[in-house]
C-alpha cells in the first residue's frame, strides 16, 4: 500500500480585488485535480516552474491550507478530514523542509530549541538524546558545537541541516522537501542532496520532493510529476519521463536543462495569468503542437506507456513509437 | 540587540536620555536616605513658612514650613513607580490585545480593534479622571487608571508586527509541526514583538508621568504621598505663583520635564534602532 495517496487534489486561494471582494469572492485555482501516489520509502518529484502549484500541493498535503478539495490519504486516512487528535498524530509522521533556511528558522531561537521544538510540541521533551542524534544524522557534528548557536551564526548550508535535523527528530515517515536546495550554493547543494539520499536509506523516509530543477529530480526521485499552471501534465518513472518525455511542456523543460544535449525549445510567451487560465488545455497558447481542439477540450489523462501518464491529445510524434499518436483515453 | 547598542553609542540624545533617567532612578532608590528632612515635618518658626532657598533649605519651604527639596526627592520614587507601573500595565494589556487580534484575525481582530479605536477616540485624560473618580484617589487606582488609558498604542504596534510575523515561514513550520495558536504566539510571535513593546514602554512611561502630574494637579492625586504632581498641586492651592514663591513649583516642574524628556530620548533612540523606516541615523525628536 502506498504511504501517501493524493486524489483529485484542488487548492484555491481567495482573491481580493478592491471593492469587488466585498460583494463576491473570487478564487485562484492553484492546484487543479492533481492525483499521485507515493509508496513507502519512495520519492516523488513535483517538477514545474514557479507558480505552477507545486508548493501549494505540498502544503495542502500537510493540511496547512484552507479551500482544499479532494483526498489526501496518509496510510489510508484522509488528512483533510482528520479529527484534531488524529491530525496531531499525523503531524508527527509528516514533516517539511522549506526552501529558505534564513526564513524557516526563528532568529530568536537557539539550535537546541529549534531542533527540540518538535519534541516539545509532541510532549517528548525527555528524549533529548534524540536531539544530538538528529544533528549527527543531518551531518552537524559534533552536535555540542551547534546546540547553543543562533541561526545567524551559521552558514546557509548549516542552517538547512538544522532544519533537516528538526524535521527528522521525531523519526517521521514522510518528508515534504519544498525546494530544499534552491537557495543554496552549488557546492553546498551536492552535500545536502547526498544527505537526503543517506537519510532515506537509514530512516526509510518517503519524500515528496518539490523542485524546479530536473537534474535534482533525476538525482533523487523514483517518479516525477510535471506540473503546469496547477495541472499535472505528465507523470511516470523518472528515467522514463526524462528520457522519453511525451508532453510538449516536459520536452521544452528538458531541452533547456543544462547539458541535456537536446535542441532548445524556447516557448513563446509567458505563463498565463492563473486567475484567467486559458480554456481547453492550459498549455495550448504556448504549445508548438496546438491545434483547434486543444483550445476547446481539456485533454484527459491517458496512459501512453505502462505507468507513464500524460494529458495531451497529440503525444509522442517523436522517434519512440509512431502508434502512440492520439492514444485512447483510459477512463 | 546590536542595533540598539549601536544606536545609543552614536546618538547624543540617546546617551543624554540614559543619563537623565539613570540619575533619577538612582535618586528614587537612595532618595529617602539622602533627603535632608522628613518631607512631612512642619516648621516651628514663623520665618520658616514659605521661606525662599537658604543654606538650611536649599529649595525653600512650603506654606507649612516643610522642606521642598526633601519633598521633590521623595516624589521621585512615587513618580517613577507610577510611571513605570502604569506603563507596564499598558504594554501588557496592549500586547495581549494586539497579538491576539493580529494572530487570529477575522471577527476577533475587528472587535478588538474597534474597542481599541473607541479608547483612542476618547480624550484619555477625561477617561482617566472618570476612572479615578469612580475607584478613589489611591496610588494603585491612579496607576490602574493611567495604564488602562495608555494601552492602545501598544495594541496597535503589536498587532501590526504580529500580522507580519505570522506570515513568516518559521511560523508555518511550527504549524506543520502541530503547534497550537497559543504555543506559536508565546514562542514565535512574542519574542519578535518584545523589542518594539519595550521601546513603546519607555514612551508610555513618559506619558504616564505626565498624566499623573495632570491628575494630581486637578486634585485627583493620592494625597498621602508626595509625587511631583502633588507638590505642584499644593503650590497652586497656596497661590505660590501669585505670591512669587517660584521655589515651590519650579523644582518639581523641572523634574517632570527632565524625566519626560529623558524617557522620550530613550524611546526615540530605540525607535531609530528598531523601526526600519527611521534607520540611517536620522535624529527624530
Determine how many CB atoms are found less than 10 A away from the CB of residue B75.
28
Q: Is residue B15 part of a domain?
A: yes
Which pLDDT score, from 0 to 100, does residue B270 have?
87
Q: What is the mean pLDDT of chain A?
A: 86
Predicted local distance difference test score (pLDDT) of residue A328: 45
Residue bearing the bigger pLDDT, B81 or B34: B81
Domain span at residue B53 reads: 2-39+48-274
Between A256 and A90, the higher pLDDT residue: A90
pLDDT confidence of residue A319: 43
Residue B36, pLDDT above cutoff 50: yes
Sign (positive/negative) of CA torsion A177, A58, A206, A115? positive
Predicted ipTM? 0.85
Q: What is the CATH number of the domain that holds B79?
A: 1.10.3720.10
Residue A19: pLDDT above 80?
A: no
Distance from CA of B179 to the nearest CA of A (A): 6
Helices vs. strands in chain A: H and E counts, helices first: 11, 12
Q: Do A105 and B170 touch (CB under 8 A)?
A: yes
CB neighbours of residue B38 within 10 Å: 12
Residue A20's Cβ-count burial label (10 Å; 0-12, 13-18, 19+) is: exposed
- For CATH 3.40.50.300, list the domain ranges present in chain A: 39-65+81-224
Any CB–CB contact under 8 A between A95 and chain B? yes
Q: Can you read off the three cell numbers belonging to residue A287?
A: 504549445
Per-residue pLDDT for A316 more than 70?
no
Chain A (135-174) residues lying within 8 Å, Cβ to Cβ, of chain B: 163, 166
A104 contacts B176? CB cut-off 8 A: no
Q: Tell me, what's the pLDDT at B284? A: 43
Q: What is the dihedral of CA B97, B99, B101, B105, to 10 degrees?
A: -170
3-class SS of residue A77: strand
The answer to whether residue B2 scores a pLDDT higher than 80 is no
Q: Which residue has better confidence, B261 or B221? A: B261
Interface residue A122 vs chain B (CB under 8 A)? yes
Give the DSSP letter string of A171-213.
Answer: --SEEEEESTTTTS-HHHHHHHHHHHHHHHHHH--EEEEEES-
Q: Half-sphere exposure of A290 toward its Cβ, with a 13 Å CA cutoff? A: 20
Answer yes or no: are the C-beta atoms of A118 and A166 closer than 8 Å.
Answer: yes
Residue A331's pLDDT is what?
A: 43
Inter-chain touch B178–A87, beta carbons under 8 Å: yes
3-state SS assignment for residue A1? coil
Nearest to B85 by CA among B47, B124, B140: B140
Quick one: pLDDT at residue B224?
83
Q: Which cell goes with B236?
A: 497652586
pLDDT of residue A8: 93
**Nearest Cβ partner for A98 among B169, B178, B179:** B169
**What span, in angstroms and rounded, lies between the C-alpha atoms of B125 and B120?**
11
Indicate whether B285 belongs to any domain. Answer: no
Contacts of B181 (CB under 8 A, 6+ apart): B103, B104
Q: Which residues pair with A175 in a beta bridge?
A: A95, A207
User: SS3 for A104?
Assistant: coil
Interface A:B, Cβ pairs < 8 A: 52
Q: Which residues of A79-102 are buried (b: 16+ CB within 10 A; e: fewer)?
A: bbebeeeebeebbbebbbbbbbbe
Are A87 and A79 within 8 A, CB to CB?
yes
Cell 559534533 -> residue: A142
CA B134, chain centre distance (Å): 22
Q: Is CATH 3.40.50.720 the classification given to domain A39-65+81-224? A: no
B182 within domain boundaries: yes
**B29-46 average pLDDT score:** 79
Please check the confidence at residue B25 and state whether its pLDDT lies above 90: yes
Mean pLDDT across B206-233: 87
Instruction: Cell numbers for A25, please give them.
Output: 469572492
Supply the pLDDT for residue B243: 84
In the three-class reduction of DSSP (H, G, I as helix; E, B as strand; rest coil), residue A12 is classed as strand
Angle at A166 between CA B102 and CA A120, to 5 degrees: 65
Indicate the burial class of A294 (C-beta count within 10 angstroms; 0-12, 13-18, 19 or more): buried
> For A180-184, A239-243, A266-270, B43-47, which range has the lowest pLDDT when averaged over its residues?
B43-47
Enclosing H/E stretch for A226: strand A223-228
Output the pLDDT for position A17.
Answer: 61
With bands split at pLDDT 50, 70 and 90, how would you rate the model's confidence at A124?
confident
pLDDT tops 50 at residue A231: yes
Start-to-end CA distance of chain B, whole Å, equals 22
Those of residues 58-87 in A touching chain B at CB distance below 8 A are 59, 62, 64, 87
pLDDT of A327 reads 46
- How would you classify residue A63: left for phi > 0, otherwise alpha for psi between -120 and 50, otherwise beta? left
A2/B144 Cα distance (integer angstroms): 61
Looking from the CA of A234 toward its CB, the CA atoms found within 13 Å total 27
Set of cell numbers at residue B84: 513605570
The pLDDT score that the predictor gives to residue A23 is 65
Please name every residue paired with A174 in a beta bridge, in sequence order, or none if there are none: A94, A206
What pLDDT is recorded for position B276? 58
Yes or no, beta carbons of B188 and A121 under 8 Å apart: no
- Percent of chain A whose predicted confidence (pLDDT) is above 70: 92
Using a CB–CB cutoff of 8 Å, tell me whether A239 touches chain B. no
Query: How many domains does the structure of chain B reveal?
Result: 1
- Give the pLDDT of residue A22: 63
Distance CA B19, CA B23 (A): 6
For the cut 80, the answer to whether the pLDDT of residue B281 exceeds it is no
N- to C-terminal Cα distance for chain A?
Answer: 23
- DSSP 8-state class, residue B67: B
Split at pLDDT 50, 70, 90, the class of B277 is: low
* Average model confidence (pLDDT) across chain B: 86
Sheet of A77-78, strand order: A26-39, A2-15, A68-74, A77-78
CB contacts, 8 Å: B177 with chain A? 91, 95, 117-118, 121-122
> Is the model more confident about B190 or about B35?
B190
Q: pLDDT, tens digit, for every residue of B151-194?
A: 998 999 999 999 999 999 999 999 999 888 999 999 999 988 98
pTM of the model: 0.81
- Rounded Cα distance, B253 and B234, in Å: 13
Amino acid at each position: 500500500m502506498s504511504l501517501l495517496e493524493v486524489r483529485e487534489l484542488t487548492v484555491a486561494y481567495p482573491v481580493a480585488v478592491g471593492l469587488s471582494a466585498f460583494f463576491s469572492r473570487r478564487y485562484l485555482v492553484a492546484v487543479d485535480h492533481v492525483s499521485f501516489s507515493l509508496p513507502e520509502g519512495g520519492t516523488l518529484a513535483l517538477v514545474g516552474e514557479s507558480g505552477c502549484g507545486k508548493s501549494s500541493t505540498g502544503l495542502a498535503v500537510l493540511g496547512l491550507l484552507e479551500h482544499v478539495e479532494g483526498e489526501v490519504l496518509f496510510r489510508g486516512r484522509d488528512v483533510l478530514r482528520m479529527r484534531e487528535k488524529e491530525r496531531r498524530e499525523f503531524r508527527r509522521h509528516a514533516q517539511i523542509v522549506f526552501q529558505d533556511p534564513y526564513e524557516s528558522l526563528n532568529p530568536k531561537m537557539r539550535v537546541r530549541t529549534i531542533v527540540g521544538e518538535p519534541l516539545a510540541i509532541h510532549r517528548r521533551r525527555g528524549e533529548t538524546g534524540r536531539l544530538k542524534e538528529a544533528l549527527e544524522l543531518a551531518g552537524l557534528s559534533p552536535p555540542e558545537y551547534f546546540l547553543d548557536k543562533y541561526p545567524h551564526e551559521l552558514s546557509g548550508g548549516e542552517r538547512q541541516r538544522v532544519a533537516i535535523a528538526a524535521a527528522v527528530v521525531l523519526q517521521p515517515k514522510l518528508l515534504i522537501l519544498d525546494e530544499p536546495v534552491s537557495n543554496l550554493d552549488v557546492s553546498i547543494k551536492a552535500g545536502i542532496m547526498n544527505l537526503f539520499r543517506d537519510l532515506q536509506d537509514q530512516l526509510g523516509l518517503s519524500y515528496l520532493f518539490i523542485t524546479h530543477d530536473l537534474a535534482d529530480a533525476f538525482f533523487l526521485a523514483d517518479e516525477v510529476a510535471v506540473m503546469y499552471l496547477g495541472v499535472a501534465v505528465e507523470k511516470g518513472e523518472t528515467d522514463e519521463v526524462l528520457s522519453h518525455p511525451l508532453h510538449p511542456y516536459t520536452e521544452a523543460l528538458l531541452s533547456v536543462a543544462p547539458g541535456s544535449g537536446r535542441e532548445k525549445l524556447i516557448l513563446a510567451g509567458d505563463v498565463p495569468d492563473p486567475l484567467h487560465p486559458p480554456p481547453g488545455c492550459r498549455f495550448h497558447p504556448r504549445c508548438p503542437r496546438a491545434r483547434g481542439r486543444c483550445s476547446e477540450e481539456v485533454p484527459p489523462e491517458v496512459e501512453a506507456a505502462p505507468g507513464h501518464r500524460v494529458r495531451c491529445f497529440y503525444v509522442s510524434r517523436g522517434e519512440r513509437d509512431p502508434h502512440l499518436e492520439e492514444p485512447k483515453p483510459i477512463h | 540587540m546590536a542595533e540598539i547598542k549601536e544606536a545609543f553609542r552614536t546618538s547624543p540624545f540617546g546617551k543624554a536620555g540614559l543619563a537623565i533617567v539613570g540619575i533619577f532612578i538612582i535618586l528614587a532608590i537612595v532618595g529617602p536616605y539622602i533627603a535632608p528632612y522628613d518631607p512631612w515635618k512642619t516648621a516651628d518658626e514663623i520665618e520658616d513658612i514659605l521661606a525662599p532657598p537658604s543654606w538650611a533649605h536649599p529649595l525653600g519651604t512650603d506654606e507649612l514650613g516643610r522642606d521642598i527639596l526633601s519633598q521633590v526627592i521623595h516624589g521621585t520614587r512615587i513618580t517613577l513607580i507610577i510611571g513605570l507601573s502604569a506603563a507596564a500595565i499598558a504594554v501588557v494589556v496592549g500586547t495581549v490585545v494586539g497579538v491576539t487580534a493580529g494572530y487570529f484575525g477575522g471577527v476577533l481582530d475587528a472587535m478588538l480593534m474597534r474597542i481599541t479605536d473607541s479608547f483612542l477616540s476618547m480624550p484619555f485624560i477625561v477617561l482617566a479622571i472618570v476612572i479615578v473618580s469612580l475607584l478613589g484617589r489611591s496610588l494603585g487606582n491612579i496607576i490602574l487608571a493611567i495604564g488602562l488609558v495608555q494601552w492602545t498604542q501598544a495594541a496597535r504596534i503589536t498587532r501590526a508586527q504580529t500580522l507580519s510575523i505570522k506570515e513568516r515561514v518559521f511560523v508555518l513550520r511550527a504549524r506543520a509541526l502541530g503547534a497550537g495558536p497559543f504555543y506559536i504566539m508565546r514562542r514565535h510571535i512574542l519574542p519578535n514583538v518584545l523589542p518594539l513593546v519595550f521601546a513603546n514602554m519607555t514612551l508610555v512611561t513618559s506619558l504616564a508621568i505626565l498624566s499623573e502630574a495632570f491628575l494630581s494637579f486637578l486634585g485627583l492625586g493620592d494625597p498621602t504621598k508626595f509625587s511631583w504632581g502633588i507638590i505642584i498641586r499644593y503650590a497652586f492651592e497656596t497661590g505660590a505663583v501669585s505670591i512669587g514663591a517660584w521655589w515651590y513649583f519650579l523644582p518639581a516642574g523641572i523634574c517632570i520635564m527632565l524625566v519626560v524628556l529623558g524617557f522620550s530620548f530613550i524611546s526615540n533612540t530605540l525607535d531609530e534602532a528598531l523601526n526600519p523606516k527611521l534607520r540611517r541615523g536620522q535624529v527624530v525628536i
